[in-house]
Amino acid sequence: MKALDNRMATFTENGYLSKLATILLIGALMGSFEITGAQSIGICYGRTATIDGLPSEPEVVELYKSINVQRMRIFDANQNALDAFRGSGIEVTVGVTNDELEKMADPTAANNWVRDNIVTYGSDVKFRYISVGNEVFPDTKTGSYDRAAQVLPAMRNIYNAIRSVGLQDQIKVSTAVYPNILENSYVRPSQGIFNTTAAQYMRPIISFLVETGAPLLANVYPYFTKKFNGQIDLSYVLFTSTAVNQDGYQNLFDAMVDTLYFAVEKAGGPSVKIVILESGWPSAGGEWATKENSQTYNQNLIRHVAKGTPKKPGPIETYVFAMFNENLKETEEERSFGLFYPNKTPVYAISFN
């Protein structure tokens, strides 16, 4: 997730105006934070914090296991984190960062990346996806498409490196996108289409995903759509509305996801599944960024994704952003997306049932 000022520009432009004791303590504090777990739910593990600001990587793994969440996204191939995952059983999505994209255009560099960060761990770490780049179309940090042409060559080289060691059926290679690639937003999902600039990059990427059987990874934040389009009814954003609009949608999340599904279909990818790699709601830092709203959104999201969308019924693999409040983010809002404080105390009670 990028700085909020960059997200604002994007939405404005596109109309989106010691361990056991600790675990026992968490259980007491969390109350209804049930540990039954949902198969389709993961949590993003960000580490934008001071060195002493977050638990150690092994502690984080134990925390995931204590709440029975079996899928995790990390944003780069951090060796301490990957070492901590050994034998955990947690399925991991790992990122090739935007800064690494140009380097990955060299097949040797891609082979070395896969050797060092995937093959080295053998069967000790369960890798699920490799996300090659994050929000590059355009880059939500710079607002430009400068790196867009680097994504597909990097994806192909990483995939070829994965295939060369026989892991192409176990680990899927994709990239993470953001709704700023869409010409039409959430108002009429059936009209969803990639904008002209993004389409020239996305069409060959969609073809690659069809070819390799990989999903498209997407970061979907109804919160930001509400923030920059205040007229949207809050209940429609929080999954609490009882009304259904003219297109048959009862919540903004479904409308945003299906808009992307329609765009992918029109770009030649009707078989391509979408995985929600990020979605969440801050608990502080804005008019609608409250603990109550954050709890409501995240709890309802966890429940809702078991059902799917009007266009694509069935469970949607979804990753909540994020595990912790991260104290080096730029604004209070960005620092407040966590389900837990850095001391592992839950921000609010939530159930993964």
Active-site residue list:
135, 278
DSSP 119: G
Is there a contact between 315 and 36 (Cβ–Cβ < 8 Å)? no
Q: What does the alpha-carbon distance between residue 222 and residue 203 come to, in Å, rounded to a whole number? A: 25
Q: What does the alpha-carbon distance between residue 205 and residue 152 come to, in Å, rounded to a whole number? A: 6
Buried b (16+ CB within 10 A) or exposed e, 309-345: bbbeeeebbbbbbbbbbbeebeeebbbbbbbbebebe
Compute φ and ψ for 7, nearest 5 degrees: -65, -40
Compute φ and ψ for 111, nearest 5 degrees: -60, -40
The residues, ordered by sequence, that sit 6+ positions from 153 with a Cβ below 8 Å of its Cβ are 104, 105
DSSP 308: B
What count of other Cβ atoms lies within 10 Å of the Cβ of residue 24?
A: 11
Q: How many residues does the chain have?
A: 353
- Among residues 70, 71, 66, 54, the alpha carbon closest in space to that of 25 is found at 66
Buried b (16+ CB within 10 A) or exposed e, 95-127: bbebebbebbbeeebbbebbeebbeebeeebbb
Positive or negative, the CA dihedral 60, 308, 271, 223 is: negative
> Cα torsion for 142, 146, 151, 152, to the nearest 10°?
150
